[in-house]
Chains A and B, each alone.
Chain A
Amino acid sequence: AQSVAQPEDQVNVAEGNPLTVKCTYSVSGNPYLFWYVQYPNRGLQFLLKYITGDNLVKGSYGFEAEFNKSQTSFHLKKPSALVSDSALYFCAVRAGGRAAGNKLTFGGGTRVLVKP
């Protein structure tokens, strides 16, 4: 079974400060890891993914995430947060390889509030 934990329900940060959203995962074999963002009354939007290669992945809107295999973590980061980054962020995982299918397991979500 695969699972994702986002330990913080909400993260508050001042505009211009660094933003970190935490994610840990459990999966058999090599993980495929993802971050999605959801703005109010909208569907989820893909931000970035880790499949293989460099542990530091860069994505949309200045976000990046670092894959840490030993800590089974994939934390999302942004060096300087904007008020417009306020949204709900989801981490997701699936087992690597085609045989595992295309079933994603999502974390519970972390609400980010960036204050001016």
Chain B
Amino acid sequence: ETGVTQTPRHLVMGMTNKKSLKCEQHLGHNAMYWYKQSAKKPLELMFVYNFKEQTENNSVPSRFSPECPNSSHLFLHLHTLQPEDSALYLCASSQVWGPNENEQFFGPGTRLTVL
């Protein structure tokens, strides 16, 4: 699991705060993903980046803003969140193609609480 790291592991923020989640992968992958995992819903895909380009935005509210400066790093910028945004945010990476293209490797997640 050290192949994909996420910081911070826990975050508590108010609705007017601005914060960022960071993900870094050390696996040489070229695709990165953000997922939201909450108690009431299955794992929800939020964003997909292939070769630093966003290829999927799963109707995510604009208060979540992703950034992928290179293939190894992925950020999720947060502003004016709502309490219902409290969840575990998971980052994952994979190869875009090749024999292991479908195996996604996940980070440990950031547990976000919005007050």
A and B co-occur in one complex: yes
A110 and B48 CA atoms in complex are apart in Å by: 25
Q: Are A45 and B1 in contact (CB under 8 A)?
A: yes
Q: Which residues of B contact A104 (CB under 8 A)?
A: 45, 102, 104
A49 interfacial by beta-carbon distance below 8 Å: yes
Q: In the assembled complex, how far is the CB of residue A105 from the closest CB belonging to chain B, in whole angstroms? A: 8
Number of B positions contacting A (CB below 8 A) = 25
Asked whether A98 lies within 8 Å of B43 as measured between CB atoms, the reply is: no
Q: Is the interface of B mostly helix, strand, loop or mixed?
A: strand
Complex alpha-carbon distance, A44 and B107, angstroms: 8
- Assess the A94–B55 pair: CB atoms within 8 A: no
How many residues on A have C-beta within 8 angstroms of the other chain's C-beta atoms? 23
Asked whether B45 lies within 8 Å of A45 as measured between CB atoms, the reply is no
B residues within 8 Å of A by Cβ? 1, 4, 6, 31, 42-43, 45, 48, 50, 55-56, 90, 92, 94, 96-97, 101-109
